[in-house]
Chain A
Amino acid sequence: MKSCLVVDDSRVIRMVARKIMEELAFEVVEAEDGKVAIERCNQGMPDAVLLDWHMPVMDGLEFLHALRRLPGGDKPKVVFCTTKNDLEHIQEAIKAGADEYIMKPFDSEIIQSKFMQVGLL
């Protein structure tokens, strides 16, 4: 079973994302900010990260930079999932090493489409 780390400071968004990812047969781990997400990755690198941008403590972009520096941190497919819905932020995320990008609001179809794009479905 593939694993997905859902990183978002909103408990509701994490709950919705968990439900969708579990329906897509992923094992889900949650983190409420980038710092906690790094701890989770140190315990075990997930196959995918569904990543919010704006979060307290460590935001999504900072997390992505930190993740890619970790041993094995180049492996997870990182899919941003954020309200930053403009081309500049998309370019910044991809340049930083994100594999795909979801503009909120999202639904299961969009998540499925994006995880197909990164080759995990």
Chain B
Amino acid sequence: MIRHDDFELLRGIVKSRSGLTLSPDKAYLLENRLMAVARKWGMNDIDGLAAAVRGGPNEELLREITEAMTTNETLFFRDQSPFEQLQKVVLPRLMASRKEARHIRIWSAGCSSGQEPYSISMILREQSALFKDWRIDILATDISRTMLDKARAGLYTQFEVQRGLPIAMLMKHFKQAGDKWELDPSIRAMVEFREFNLLGDPGTLGRFDIVFLRNVLIYLDQPTKAQVLEKVCRQMPTDGVLYMGGAETVMGVTEKFQPVSEHRGMYRVTAGGPSQWKTPPASIASNA
């Protein structure tokens, strides 16, 4: 059983470095996850780990403690509808309004092992003729180096490729590599992965027309959620689109974004964004 002062010390580190909030009833979770870190660093228990932390600054140890507490649950085409909206509504509309620049930037924030940004890149590949002469950047970020390494490798287990990924996509974009499935290098090359802490300044990442921030903020407290959303908003144009998880909301958190009533989980920038995000006229959809 973890000591109270050790729990307070370790959850304080996790909170200050990632925003992740751990209530006292999550002490068991912290203990379970940090035991692996303790053993890796040659300690037998959480007491030893806490003592090492108290012993002086060790950036690598603190980073591993934080990383161990992140939740990396993800799957291809999670919830389906955001990806259908992206394909049928959002991209056609943004393409219509960016005919001159022919450049769209997408950010998958908290990308974990890469299924979300790769789902986006597979959609783009499926419609590659429509994006001819367009530059579509997909930046995927996560706080966890372990997850980013896995994402860059593009190697997924049989279990992972059966969660959300249509069989036609598996056949088209993956090949077997031993007991795993490897995503086509050309799909992987469409995504740039970068380590980024959402508590940091996204100004360093540039501006984004579309942001996927799905099922990430659920682990943060309200003030931290608001700060992150306000910083994200500053990186978006007035017609930008934010996606959050189906069970998440901006209500009571920030007024920077407004839900798009026709599309669950989709939000527009409050200031100046189009008031309606309905399916575009057929002429726009077919051109996009």
Q: Known contacts A87-B176, A116-B80; is A103 also within 8 Å of B168 by CB?
A: no
Check B260 for interface membership: any CB of A closer than 8 A. no
Q: CB-CB < 8 A to A91: which residues of B?
A: 171
Check A70 for interface membership: any CB of B closer than 8 A. no
Interface of A is mostly: helix
User: Which one of B24-32, B156-164, B198-206, B218-226 is at the A interface?
Assistant: B156-164
Q: Known contacts A87-B171, A87-B175, A90-B170; is A113 also within 8 Å of B158 by CB?
A: no
Minimum C-beta distance from A73 to chain B (A): 20
* 8 Å CB contact of A117 from B158, B167, B171, B175: B167
Q: CB-CB < 8 A to B246: which residues of A?
A: none
Check B166 for interface membership: any CB of A closer than 8 A. yes
Interface residues on B, range: 10 to 19
Q: CB-CB < 8 A to B158: which residues of A?
A: 85, 103
Q: CB-CB < 8 A to A85: which residues of B?
A: 158
Q: Known contacts A90-B170, A90-B171, A94-B168; is A109 also within 8 Å of B80 by CB?
A: no
Q: CB-CB < 8 A to B80: which residues of A?
A: 116
Interface of B is mostly: mixed
Number of A-B contacts (CB under 8 A): 32
With most chain B CB atoms within 10 A of its CB, the pick from A90, A102, A110, A113 is A113
Complex contact A110–B171 (CB within 8 A): no
Check A100 for interface membership: any CB of B closer than 8 A. yes
- How many interface residues does A have (CB within 8 Å)? 17
CB closest residue in chain A, given B159: A110
Complex contact A94–B167 (CB within 8 A): yes
Complex contact A114–B171 (CB within 8 A): no
Q: CB-CB < 8 A to B176: which residues of A?
A: 86-87
Minimum C-beta distance from A118 to chain B (A): 9
A103 to B176, CA, bound (A): 13
Check A101 for interface membership: any CB of B closer than 8 A. yes
Show the binding face of A for B, using Cβ within 8 Å: 85-87, 90-91, 94, 100-103, 106, 109-110, 113-114, 116-117
Please name 8 further chain A to chain B contacts, defined as beta carbons within 8 Å, in addition to the given A94-B167, A94-B171, A106-B162, sorted by A numbering: A87-B175, A87-B176, A90-B171, A94-B168, A100-B166, A110-B159, A110-B162, A114-B167
